[in-house]
């Protein structure tokens, strides 16, 4: 450890610090850029055969092709629709069950036990049963997403309600809030951070489940696009699919974080100026 002379600290200026921060952000790109460059060189020299992994340049042109013909958008829309429907239903079910189990004794007894048992089952293990129940239509994919996303929302929301500081409930009594006021002004808002933690998990899981279920039996969706490419050994299209899934995961997580920041302004450490 080296000590910084006091004078230097005094001279630290904000603008310099901001510029350094911008540079730091760019620096995290160095690794990926080097990796892609190596990959391109490997492909160009024949070190990485085309049938193993397409070159980055081929991937880009394949992606451009898919966009131009509209196929990418078409399948992306289908996947998005499935994820959105499944996620909405799953989150709703998880949240409602958590609130009922968290607020009522009978709810706790009735709901929590089964939920704790069911959540031990990986959603994808349900694929055979789901196919028996729903055939191979849209329902299977949506069902799997619903099943997989309800649990993280349930578990985190329920834990947040249970773990609420009992001193707040005591306070509610001293100001005579009443049972309804306690629920509306103390318990539900207090459990919202837990709900959002669950929602973030659920969003990530929804893609995971969709990736797999779309590769098992589908005639549309990004997963289908990739499966189809596999039978023609089009590694470039497969990589395009991977990139799209990655972007979807990143974007949806950003979106949930953004909503979270909007809904829970009181959690922000620094107030915006």
Partner 1 sequence: MATDLHRAVDAPAAVAVKGLDKSFGTQHVLKGVDLDIAPGEFTALLGRSGSGKSTLLRVLAGLDTDYDGEVAVPGRRAVAFQDSRLLPWKRVLDNVLLGQKGKAAKAKGLATLDEVGLADKAKAWPHTLSGGEGQRAALARALVREPELLLLDEPFGALDALTRLKMHALLRKLWAAHQPSVLLVTHDVEEAIALADRVLVLTEGRISLDVRVELPQTAPRRSREFADLRDRLLAELGVAESER
The residue among 122 and 178 lying less far from partner 1, judged by its C-beta, is 178
The residue among 66 and 172 lying less far from partner 1, judged by its C-beta, is 172
Min. distance of Cβ 189 from partner 1 in angstroms?
4
Min. distance of Cβ 261 from partner 1 in angstroms?
13
Min. distance of Cβ 255 from partner 1 in angstroms?
22
Q: Please state, in angstroms and rounded to a whole number, the distance separating the CA atoms of residues 80 and 38.
A: 33
Min. distance of Cβ 186 from partner 1 in angstroms?
7
The closest alpha carbon to 91, from 262, 252, 261, belongs to 252
Min. distance of Cβ 268 from partner 1 in angstroms?
8
- Site residues (CB under 8 A) for partner 1? 167-168, 170-177, 181, 185-186, 189-190, 192, 264-267, 269, 271
The residue among 24 and 170 lying less far from partner 1, judged by its C-beta, is 170
Instruction: Quickly count: other Cβ atoms within 10 Å of residue 191's Cβ.
Output: 23
The residue among 89 and 263 lying less far from partner 1, judged by its C-beta, is 263
The residue among 133 and 168 lying less far from partner 1, judged by its C-beta, is 168
Q: Please state, in angstroms and rounded to a whole number, the distance separating the CA atoms of residues 133 and 141.
A: 12
The residue among 127 and 186 lying less far from partner 1, judged by its C-beta, is 186
Q: Please state, in angstroms and rounded to a whole number, the distance separating the CA atoms of residues 83 and 218.
A: 14
Min. distance of Cβ 177 from partner 1 in angstroms?
5
Instruction: Quickly count: other Cβ atoms within 10 Å of residue 169's Cβ.
Output: 14
User: Residue holding tokens 């131009």?
Assistant: 68
Q: Please state, in angstroms and rounded to a whole number, the distance separating the CA atoms of residues 162 and 104.
A: 11
* Region at 251 (left for phi over 0; alpha for psi -120 to 50; beta for the rest): alpha
The closest alpha carbon to 92, from 84, 104, 81, belongs to 84
Q: How far is CA 200 from CA 31, 151, 156, 159, 207, in A?
A: 27, 12, 10, 15, 12
Min. distance of Cβ 195 from partner 1 in angstroms?
13
The residue among 20 and 267 lying less far from partner 1, judged by its C-beta, is 267
- Which helix (H) or strand (E) segment is 179 a member of? helix 178-181
């Amino acid at each position: 450890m080296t000590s910084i002379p006091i004078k230097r600290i005094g001279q630290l200026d904000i603008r310099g610090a901001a510029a350094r921060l911008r540079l730091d952000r760019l620096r995290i790109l160095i690794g990926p850029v080097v990796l892609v460059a190596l990959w391109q060189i490997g492909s160009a020299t024949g070190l990485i055969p085309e049938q193993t992994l397409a070159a980055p340049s081929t991937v880009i042109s394949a992606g451009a092709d898919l966009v131009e013909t509209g196929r990418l958008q078409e399948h992306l829309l289908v996947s998005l629709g499935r994820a959105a429907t499944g996620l909405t239903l799953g989150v709703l079910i998880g949240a409602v069950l958590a609130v009922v189990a968290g607020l009522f004794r009978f709810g706790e007894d009735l709901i929590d036990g089964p939920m704790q048992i069911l959540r031990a089952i990986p959603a994808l293990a349900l694929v055979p049963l789901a196919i028996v129940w729903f055939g191979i239509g849209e329902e299977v994919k949506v069902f799997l997403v619903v099943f997989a996303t309800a649990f993280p929302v349930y578990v985190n929301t329920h834990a947040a309600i249970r773990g609420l500081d009992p001193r707040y409930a005591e306070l509610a009594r001293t100001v005579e809030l009443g049972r309804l006021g306690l629920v509306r002004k103390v318990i539900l808002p207090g459990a919202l951070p837990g709900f959002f933690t669950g929602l973030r998990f659920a969003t990530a899981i929804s893609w995971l489940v969709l990736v797999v279920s779309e590769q098992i039996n589908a005639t549309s969706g990004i997963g289908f696009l990739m499966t189809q490419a596999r039978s023609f050994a089009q590694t470039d299209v497969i990589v395009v699919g991977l990139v799209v899934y990655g972007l979807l995961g990143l974007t949806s997580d950003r979106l949930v974080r953004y909503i979270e920041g909007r809904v829970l302004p009181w959690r922000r450490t620094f107030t915006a100026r």
